[in-house]
A and B are shown apart, each in its own frame.
Chain A
Amino acid sequence: GQQVMQIPQYQHVQEGEDFTTYCNSSTTLSNIQWYKQRPGGHPVFLIQLVKSGEVKKQKRLTFQFGEAKKNSSLHITATQTTDVGTYFCAGPANSGYALNFGKGTSLLVTP
């Protein structure tokens, strides 16, 4: 079945440094979603990418969907301590709106 893999598993940066997490799927995706989970919290939807080669920005966050629709990335410019959390990518599962999540990248930002 479809597998979604993310790297790195962990990233520790100094505040102000950039951060990137990468997501790869074993199959072509109709769309990819990104979620953020703060420590002790639940996943919160960030964005959905649908088109091949799509790039979307949300303030300091830049999301890309690969041309083959099998990979994606999330880049954060000039990290802040509020960016701390685990970032998950997720592709559609076989059932309705269900999702296959990657294992996530945990970001730690130190001041």
Chain B
Amino acid sequence: ETGVTQSPTHLIKTRGQQVTLRCSSQSGHNTVSWYQQALGQGPQFIFQYYREEENGRGNFPPRFSGLQFPNYSSELNVNALELDDSALYLCASSSRNEQFFGPGTRLTVL
């Protein structure tokens, strides 16, 4: 176990809805990254937060947004859900270069 937790485990939404996913990072890790992993693909970097500020972003539209809180936990928000947003969403907290992944949230958009 990495100590990184995510909630919920599974989620079903319909197109156009909004979703919030949550992540608690490993103790002492102040950097959290979010990834989207479509079926059969590698994780794709969405964005990263360091000390409550966005610290880099991948090739995802603005309807993907996030927050990091003073305790370094984090949220990923996705607005106007599309069918292609169906994926496993992973958060990872970082110690130096090693990423510790949480178990993920499986999002299904119908």
Contacts and interface: CB of A to CB of B under 8 A. Distances in A.
A93 B56 contact: yes
Contacts of B104: 42
Interface string B64-103: 0000000000000000000000000010001011111111
A13 B32 CA distance: 37
B98 A104 contact: no
Interface of A: 31, 33, 41-45, 48, 88, 90, 92-104
B33 interface: yes
Nearest to A48: B97
Interface of B: 2, 31, 33, 35, 40-45, 47-48, 50, 55-58, 90, 94, 96-104
A43 B52 CA distance: 24
Contacts, number: 69
Contact of A97 (B33, B41, B101): B33
A106 B62 CA distance: 32
Nearest to B54: A95
B42 A33 contact: no
A101 B101 CA distance: 14
25 contacts: A31-B97, A41-B103, A43-B90, A48-B98, A90-B42, A92-B97, A93-B58, A95-B45, A95-B47, A96-B31, A96-B94, A97-B94, A97-B99, A98-B33, A98-B45, A98-B48, A98-B56, A98-B58, A99-B45, A99-B99, A101-B42, A102-B42, A103-B42, A104-B41, A104-B42
